[in-house]
Structure 1
Amino acid sequence: MSVTPTPRETVRLTVAQAVVRFLAAQFSERDGERRQFFGGVFGIFGHGNVAGVGQALLEAELAVDAGDGWKPPAHVPYVTGRNEQAMVHAAVGYARQQDRLQTLAVTASVGPGATNMLTGAALATINRLPVLLLPSDVFATRVSSPVLQELELPSGYDVSVNDAFRPLSRFFDRVWRPEQLPAALLGAMRVLTDPAETGAATIALPQDVQAEAFDWPVELFRERTWHVARPVPETALLARAADLVRGARTPLVVAGGGVTYSGATDALRAFAEATGIPVAQSQAGKGTLPYDHPLCLGAIGATGTTGANEIAAEADLVIGIGTRYSDFTTASRSAFQNPGVRFVNINVASLDAVKHAGLAVQADAREALVALTAALQGFSVPDAYRERTARLNAEWDAVVEGFYRSGIGERTGVLAQAEVLGALDEVAGPRDVVVCAAGSLPGDLHCMWRARDPKGYHVEYGYSCMGYEIPGGIGVKMAAPDRDVFITVGDGSYLMMPTELVTAVQEDVKVIVVLLQNHGFASIGALSESLGSQRYGTRYRRRSASGRLDGDKLPVDLAANAESLGVRVLRAGTREELVEALRDAKASTESTLVHVETDLHSEAPDGGGWWDVPVSEVSHVDSTRTARVAYEAHKARQRPLV
């Protein structure tokens, strides 16, 4: 006896309409708290997506009924961006501020619109932050090939520029046929909501397929909640980790971004206070303990504090929690000098848990810390070790205060960068967010900024991408509208991507941009000098009669540029004027840029860290030969750590 199958309920939509409907129905859940996963769609339309995704977003905005009575469970607003790379940066800033539990989708047209997103994809994946990329693609039918902006390769016709996303994405698929879309969407969501696998997820949408209609099962558009798991540590591994801690004389915690993303900052504080083990922080981990906690050593590594690097050099056990041990964190593997140093690595990702031949505890940071604290009940480092940590913390804070109030600006007429940060520290509230990404500012912020809140420090240093600051800060503000967001940016990075200031005005997203104009690349200039290359090519200068770029400063008015993009602009010359301008900006409801001239050669406190940048082995320049000698001395302290 044959049974006639019950027909599936379907709705006829284009591929693009199906994508937009699917996005509105996705939610994430952790610890019983449910959130809309996509907070919006950033986009720039061109011939590849204007009639596909663009039309679908229009229908969603107008709430057009497809005939099945479906209503979106949540509104997913569309935001027009000005630069495709910047749109991805905004999505990344949003996702990081939301601890990876929410993000934005980004759509771009075929060709340069799509490839402009490649840098953003790399940044998202390197920083382990979720973002959904929807680049348009060439015709699946090839009926019009080669189309405008199509890459033609003699070796095959199934390759487009979007294949460049493959190594930069944690998930990549191209939807050649409508039937492939459900698997692509679900595959992308699986990766986006997995803390161990997350990064950029790219679904390339051929422009003809976007507009093609298909009968979709309505189940695809029903609300779907993705549970974000908290994997617990294995009992045997936890016991081994506890034994290693109990046997250590000078243990040290290195806290990374995973502590914050896991919501484990309270658990970290409880662990540190129960055991007395001091905490050093990577760039992403800064703020996991407040700067003035007596067990907080602050920044570690190449841009670290003297205390953190002093303890790191002696540590016989390093407990890495949610860190991927970048070269800045490990001072290019020269930070840990104890010949018997061991590592316990608590990380949700196996890739990071196994580094430095450590004991790999693959688990959620919060769950592992709670369990390890219980397993170490009754254990504590000697009181002298606690007291030493508190003393080192206080000594460094005094150093920072000296740099914050150095008086260089009064003596020279141009503020030092540290003085600007000191003024900002004076004005910023405890929950305000400071944003940065590239140049000398991230290093200065890492070692000096007085982070008071786990979400108050947002420096993108996995990719350290120039131009991230303004769009990333906009994404942060979209995710945290109740916080003031201070975007610190140098003139070099500002010139890379100021255009999203227009987006901030468009969306009425208030950000405060602190623009430090020093007429050059301060970070690379200082690095160049230390490597014997005499700051070559790092100053913004006219070409002189000698043929070199060593003439007068360029007559560029970046404050006027920002004003032309629609934001309020305040100029400050002295520290007092800067504090007043920052307070004005904080009190305002409008996006404001505060412009201040700073000294290109100003310095930050030296915490004794090192960064491996090779120096020419042979040279006819005396400064380079001298730098090579210093480089070889540092290399001698470098350890493989497997």
Structure 2
Amino acid sequence: MSGTRHLTVAQALVAFLARQFTERDGHRHRLIAATWGIFGHGNVAGIGQALLESGPEAMPFIQGRNEQAMVHAAVGYARHSDRLSAHAVTTSIGPGATNLVTGAALATINRIPVLLLPGDTFATRPADPVLQQLEVPYAGDLSVNDALRPVSRYFDRITRPEALVPAALQAMRVLTDPVGTGAVTLALPQDVQAEAWDWPEEFFADRVWTVRRPRPDRAELAAAAAAVRSAARPLIIAGGGIRYSGAEAALAALAEATGIPVALTQSGKGALPYDHPAEVGGVGHTGTDTAAELARGADLVIAAGTRLTDFTTASATLFQDPGVRFVGLNLDPYDAHKLAARTLVGDARESLDELREALAGHRADPEYIARYTRAKERWEARVDRAYAAPDEGAVPTQAQVLGVLDSLVTGEDVLVNAAGSLPGDLHKLWRARSPRQYHVEYGYSCMGYEIPAAIGVALAAPGRPVWALVGDGTYLMNPTEIATAVQERIPLRLVILDNHGYASIGGLSGAVGGEGFATAYRFRAVDSSYSGEPLPLDLAANAASLGMTVYRARTIGDLREALAAARAADRPTCVYVETRTPDTVSGPPPAAAWWDVPVAETATRASAAGAREEYDRQAAQRRRHL
């Protein structure tokens, strides 16, 4: 191939992106399936003109309302696509660009690919300063886009047309790297976007990026198998790496062959269906009693595809057996080494399959299997009690809302959540039926993620019922993409659970001596505290004003009818319900493991002093595994 093509930088970038593909296991996917955008002076004449000229067949375009939300939607799409396909997001320079930072942090922390294309100030500096330029006396080459550097896996600023060629290739390399992926930022000065250059035709050829599946080292595999064979109480902790590898069947085969129980992180939940004999539920601070008991007594923990965050390890207090050892099964050596583990570095599917073969004939002690089976049955009975409602006329608790939804969905439905008290209730209680049903973003636990991410999931899985579950605090944070769902005719199902405040943090505040300070949505009382009447907010009316069909559910019976109607709907639909405070029976079980939230070491109020005593007691159990 030879010759050149005379295009602007923006036109060349769009043409290049349209020809990029991933391939894994013989299946090819378009790498950048669509571009989200909001146009301002910093990108309308560059990327905006290029997208218009290329047309929707070359690069589909989706109009967003909030820059952060556009990144969340792109993350939702890429996560549900198992990171094999992604979206790009373009914004103008200035506040549009800096609004990307939160979304970029979320993508990079969760290791989800998204391509960010913010405009930038002039490379040629025709005037100084120009509109929205950040003036830094000690550095003339900084712009507000440099705020994206620490939250991007790759960052480059394209100050000359020819610089796009190596930068674009590096960007694709990072987006398709199963270890090093995350937000990728190409900052595009507005004058360079519109500058033309003669591009080599080879730049626009179809390019396929193979997503590799490295097999584990033989010596590491033999050591891991020996560790399993010598363990009396082994436990597998399965994380998001299982789903991104497509290793669910390999995990099930290993668990069935060996009888080793499997506990699940927030990202890993669904890797085994809830009714699989070896699935013992969520692990860690928001997990089940069954998983916590097994983790405390385990003498071997196989951490498969997990980052082992503080919620999973109960802030390093969960694994209490004096002789506990760890095997870190992970594609990323950094994660595999955590907790001083024996490493098993490789693709999750390949590693699990080879570990099962290396363990041929080995099976966990029958009494151990019987013990966790009985504990699992007791836990399921506890879930039944939390889901159960006294009658159809009762005002539901949050757990009972989940119970009604549980009775209506199938494995086709997808639940999207990220923040508040819902992630804890879902991790404990939700009965995941399929690998892609449970979509809780808990690496960053970002309020406002749910609605745009659900749109991204719906774009990745057309025809599947997608539910965005939000509290009133999260809804008020970011409802703007409802307008996008309406515009694009995406049948988003939105469930708003209104408890008049930041209930999750309110509960945490009470537990750590903060007495719920400033966590309720209420008028000020005489003493200036937020303890008056609830604010007269009408979130249902707000959702309706943005174009949704809205059902108000006051009772369990109303809720059942409303959720059924929403599931059958072919347009964006909202179910609004005010929840009541649960009692000890109707609420979710309390945390089965600790989470480190430091408490004031000295205080005059009794609540904080008492909380500090409890903190010191729990912190004393922390271990460093060496």
Q: TM-score, normalised by structure 1?
A: 0.96
- Asked if 1:134 corresponds to 2:117, the answer is yes
1:107 and 2:90 aligned: yes
CA–CA distance in 1 between the matches of 2:391 and 2:155?
A: 52
Which one of 177, 186, 192 corresponds to residue 203 of structure 1?
186
- Tell me if the contact between 1:409 and 1:416 (Cα under 8 Å) persists in the aligned partners: no
Please give the residue correspondences for 1:501-512 in structure 2 after superposition, counting only pairs within 5 Å: 501-512=482-493
Q: Distance in 1 between matches of 2:324 and 2:63?
A: 51
Which residue in 2 is equivalent to 1:220? 203
Pairing 1:439–2:439 present: no
Deviation string 1:233-270 (CA, Å, 9 cap, x unpaired) is: 01111000000000100000000000011000000000
In the other structure, the counterpart of 1:472 is 453
Map 1:457-468 to 2 at 5 A. Answer: 457-468=438-449
Please give the secondary structure, in 2, of the residue aligned with 1:27: strand
Written as runs of structure 1 = structure 2, the 5 A alignment for 1:64-83 is 75-83=58-66
Q: Which residue of 2 aligns with 1:481?
A: 462
User: Of 258, 277, 285, which residue of structure 1 is paired with 2:260?
Assistant: 277
Q: Determine the C-alpha separation between the residues in 1 that align with 2:349 and 2:412.
A: 22
- Pick from 551, 569, 578 the counterpart of residue 570 of structure 1: 551
Structure 1 CA distance for aligned equivalents of residues 69 and 53 of structure 2: 25
Gapped runs of 5+ residues in structure 2? Answer: none
Confirm or deny that 1:392 pairs with 2:375: yes
Residue 601 of structure 2 aligns with which residue?
617
Structure 1 Cα separation of the partners of residues 436 and 537 of structure 2:
35
SS, match of residue 609 in structure 1: coil
Distance (whole Å) between structure 1 residues aligned to residue 254 and residue 227 of structure 2: 15
Task: Report the Cα distance in structure 2 between the residues aligned to 1:385 and 1:640, rounded to whole angstroms.
Answer: 27
Deviation at 1:18, TM superposition (A): 0.6
Report what 1:116 is aligned to. 99
CA deviations on 1:427-449 (whole Å, 9 max, x unpaired) are 11122101100000000000100
> Aligned partners of 2:459, 2:390: CA distance in 1, in Å?
37
Match of 2:620, as an amino acid? A
Pairwise CA distance, 1:8: 4.3
Q: Is the 8 A contact 1:125 1:168 kept in 2?
A: yes
Task: Give the drift of 1:408.
Answer: 8.8
Aligned-residue Cα RMSD (Å) equals 1.2
1:167-182 equivalences under 5 Å are: 167-182=150-165
The residue that corresponds to 1:14 in the other structure is 8
Report the 3-state secondary structure (helix = DSSP H, G, I; strand = E; otherwise coil) of the residue aligned with 2:28.
strand
Give deviations 1:560-617, integer Å, cap 9, x for gaps: 0000001110110111111111111111101101000012566421252111001101
Provide, for residues 150-203 of structure 1, a one-character-per-residue CA deviation record: whole Å limited to 9, x for no partner.
Answer: 100000110011111111011000001001001111001001001011001100
Report the residue type matching 1:55 in the other structure. Q
In structure 2, C-alpha distance between the alignment counterparts of 1:640 and 1:44, rounded to whole Å: 48
Would you say the 8 A contact 2:392–2:557 is kept in 1? no
Structure 1 residue 385 displacement after superposition: 1.4
Query: C-alpha distance in 2, partners of 1:561/1:546?
Result: 31
* CA–CA distance in structure 1, aligned partners of residues 306 and 415 of structure 2: 21
Provide the C-alpha distance between the structure 1 equivalents of 2:510 and 2:94, rounded to a whole number of angstroms: 40
Q: Which residue of 2 aligns with 1:344?
A: 327
Structure 1: gaps of 5 or more residues: 1-6, 63-73
Q: Which residue of 1 aligns with 2:505?
A: 524
Quote how far apart the aligned CAs of 1:407 are.
Answer: 2.9
1:70 matched to which residue of 2?
Answer: none
* Residues 312, 336 of structure 1: 8 Å contact kept: yes
In 2, the alpha carbon distance for the partners of 1:176 and 1:232 equals: 40
8 A contact 1:90–1:472 mirrored in 2: yes
- Which residue identity does 2:614 align to in structure 1? A
Structure 2 counterpart SS, 1:328: helix
Contact 1:305 1:606 in 2 (8 A): no
Which string of whole-angstrom CA distances, capped at 9 and with x for unpartnered residues, describes residues 363-411 of structure 1? Answer: 000000000000000000111111222212111111011000143985x
Q: Distance in 2 between matches of 1:448 and 1:40?
A: 35
Secondary structure of the structure 1 residue equivalent to 2:335: helix
Measured in 2, the distance between the counterparts of 1:12 and 1:544 equals: 68
Contact map agreement 1:519 1:600 (CA 8 A) in 2: no
- Given that 1:306 and 1:606 are in contact with CA atoms closer than 8 Å, whether structure 2 keeps it comes out as no
Give the Å deviation of 1:76.
2.2
2:399 to 418, 422, 426: 418
Inter-partner Cα distance in structure 2 for 1:465 and 1:509:
23
Cα distance in 2 for partners of 1:417, 1:22 equals 48
Q: Aligned match of 1:53 in 35, 40, 47? A: 47
Kept in 2: contact 1:408–1:414 (CA 8 A): no
Deviation of 1:548 (Å): 2.4
Report if aligned partners of 2:283, 2:312 keep a CA contact under 8 Å in 1: yes
- Counterpart code for 1:28: T
Letter of the structure 2 residue corresponding to residue 27 of structure 1: F
Alpha-carbon distance in 1 for matches of 2:345, 2:262: 20
For 2:310, what is the secondary structure of its paired residue? coil
Q: Report how far residue 414 of structure 1 moved.
A: 3.3
Q: Are 1:272 and 1:278, in contact at CA under 8 Å, matched by a contact in 2?
A: yes
Contact 2:2/2:202 (<8 A) preserved: no
In the alignment, does 2:586 pair up with 1:605?
Answer: no
Q: Where does 1:551-590 land on structure 2 (aligned, <5 Å)?
A: 551-590=532-571
Q: CA deviation at 1:312?
A: 0.1
What is the identity, as a one-letter code, of the residue corresponding to 1:615? V
Q: Find the counterpart in structure 2 of residue 536 from structure 1.
A: 517
Aligned 8 A contact 2:281 2:288 in 1? yes
Conserved in 1, the CA contact under 8 Å of 2:282 and 2:427? yes
Quick one: which amino acid aligns to residue 556 of structure 1? L
Q: In the TM superposition, what whole-angstrom CA distance separates every residue of 1:610-641 from its partner, at most 9, and x where no partner exists?
A: 11001101010001111111111100111122
In 1: Cα distance, 2:156 partner to 2:581 partner: 46
Match of 1:67 in 2: none
CA distance in structure 2 between the partners assigned to 1:549 and 1:242 by the alignment? 57
Work out which of the residue numbers 122, 125, 139 in structure 1 matches 2:108: 125
- Which runs of structure 2 are paired with 1:227-376 in the superposition (5 Å)? 227-376=210-359
Q: Residue 515 of structure 2 aligns to a residue in which SS? A: coil
For residue 524 of structure 1, report the CA deviation from its aligned partner.
Answer: 0.3
Does the 8 Å CA contact 1:252/1:318 hold for their aligned counterparts?
yes
Could you tell me the percent identity over the aligned residues? 57
Q: Quick one: distance in 2 between partners of 1:189 and 1:181?
A: 12
- Letter of the 1:168 partner, please give it: V
Given residue 632 of structure 1, which amino acid in structure 2 is its aligned partner?
D
The answer to whether 1:635 aligns with 2:616 is no
| 3-state SS of 1:28 partner | strand
Amino acid at match of 2:283: I
* Alignment check: 8 A CA contact 1:42 1:104 kept: yes
Whole-Å separation in 2 of the counterparts to 1:8 and 1:292? 58
Moved more, 281-290 or 602-611: 602-611
Equivalent AA in structure 1 for residue 4 of structure 2? T
- Give the secondary-structure state (helix, strand or coil) at the position aligned to 2:87: strand
Task: Determine the C-alpha separation between the residues in 2 that align with 1:312 and 1:41.
Answer: 43
Cα distance in 2 for partners of 1:592, 1:497 equals 17
Which AA in structure 2 matches 1:554? L
Q: What SS does the aligned partner of 2:45 have?
A: coil
CA contact (8 A) 1:572 1:595 kept: yes
Secondary structure, in 3 states, of the residue corresponding to 1:361? strand
CA distance in 1, matches of 2:377, 2:466: 28
* Secondary structure class of the residue paired with 1:577: helix
User: How many angstroms apart in 1 are the aligned matches of 2:167 and 2:97?
Assistant: 18
The answer as to whether partners of 1:276 and 1:295 remain within 8 angstroms in 2 is yes
Output the CA distance in 1 between the equivalents of 2:536 and 2:523: 9
CA distance in 2, matches of 1:607, 1:391: 20
